[in-house]
Amino acid sequence: MRHFTRIADLDVTGVAAILDEALAWKKHPPGAHLAGKLLGMVFFNPSLRTRASFEAAMLRGGGNAIVLEVGSGVWKLEDRKGAVMDGDRPEHIREAIPVLGRYVDALAVRTFGALQDDAADAADPVMHVFRELAGVPVISMESAREHPCQGLADLLTVRENFGDTRKLPVTLIWAPHIKPLPKAVPHSFLLTAAAAGCEVRIAHPPGFELHPEVLAEARLYASQSGGSVAVTHQQQAALAGSCVVYAKAWGPATKNAPGGEAAARVAAHKDWLITGKTLAMAAKDAIFLHCLPVRRNLEVADEVLDGPQSRVIDEAENRFHVQRVLLHKLMNGAVC
């Protein structure tokens, strides 16, 4: 496996293999499997769990990490192709990336979508340039299109609670927010759950569709794994009998829509707040997931986050477990 910036870098078989190894390593840690290895981490956007979990994986594995925050102690980086660089970005990623690649054994990158055009975000231009120019393995810490490490951590949590994920009913449900948010997290949960053979139900208000190419990719994985993908605008229909309730704000679907207009569309659906009543529509033994950070009592009520069905802390811990397996595969040339 040369890079890991999208679930397509693993496919259905690879997803299962990573989850199997992460479960095994969680019980029996591998020791200094990254001794002498150096990870370069490039953050275009803020982070808490992602930064901490990757640094912890490197350090506990005997390696080390260099953390670079673009625009904070590091030059602001231009990423637009053909840009006339007469603004406040004095260095282009086409020079920065290959230079960084000469210093480290792998590069990890975090870059969000611009939220102006779904098609442009789905094209994932910054991540593609890293893959092209790094000269070392590249791993995604979230991009404009996907957050694949989060998706794997989500499904590891599901595996721990239910064992076999084949035909397991899971619901990805839209939650309200104060502003439009990227679709990388819901995309990755959808793709990973479909690859794991789950029966995925997606519920959101009209106008908040996930990207059609991602939906098509998820349906392809479902056809290979024995799962399914269904979309509805009805919460109850999506939640009935579901074993996993995954809440996340995203969207709306945009194409050069003014920011104020998009924010107003998000604000129009405050009644989609995830409450105990919402969770009660699912199966009695359902678990609740959210990638964090979460805006309490705006996206999800306290009673859900602090309740016995919440697995959000386990889910966050599992970022560490899947990422150290991925780093091992990338840095030590292991075949996935």
Q: Where are the domains of the chain?
A: 7-146+319-331, 148-315
Which CATH class for the 148-315 domain?
Answer: alpha beta
| Domain 7-146+319-331 part of CATH 2.60.40.1120 | no
| Vertex 56: Cα angle to 248 and 195 (nearest 5) | 45
Q: What percent of the chain has pLDDT over 90?
A: 91
Where do runs of H (alpha helix) occur along 169-258? 184-195, 212-225, 235-239
- Residue 167 carries which DSSP code? T
Q: How far is Cα 132 from Cα 169, in angstroms, rounded to an integer?
A: 38
What is the average pLDDT score of the chain? Answer: 95
Is 256 a residue whose pLDDT tops 60? no
pLDDT tens figures, 167-209: 999 999 999 999 999 999 999 999 999 999 999 999 999 999 9
Mean pLDDT lowest for which of 55-59, 85-89, 255-259, 263-267?
Answer: 255-259
pLDDT of amino acid 263:
84
| Spatial CA neighbour of 114 closest among 105, 123, 106 | 123
Is 5 a residue whose pLDDT tops 80? yes
pLDDT of amino acid 336:
44
Is residue 324 within 8 A of residue 21, CB to CB? The reply is no
Helix, strand, coil share of the chain (percent; to 5): 40, 20, 40
User: Residue 141 carries which side chain, given as an amino acid letter?
Assistant: M
pLDDT tier for residue 116 given thresholds of 50, 70 and 90: confident
Q: Is the peptide bond before 293 cis (omega within 30 degrees of 0)?
A: yes
Q: How far is Cα 135 from Cα 152, in angstroms, rounded to an integer?
A: 25
- Domains 7-146+319-331 and 148-315 belong to one CATH topology: yes
- Provide mean pLDDT across the span 216-224: 98
pLDDT tier for residue 332 given thresholds of 50, 70 and 90: very high
pLDDT tens figures, 282-309: 999 999 999 999 999 999 999 999 999 9
pLDDT tier for residue 258 given thresholds of 50, 70 and 90: low
- Provide mean pLDDT across the span 299-328: 98
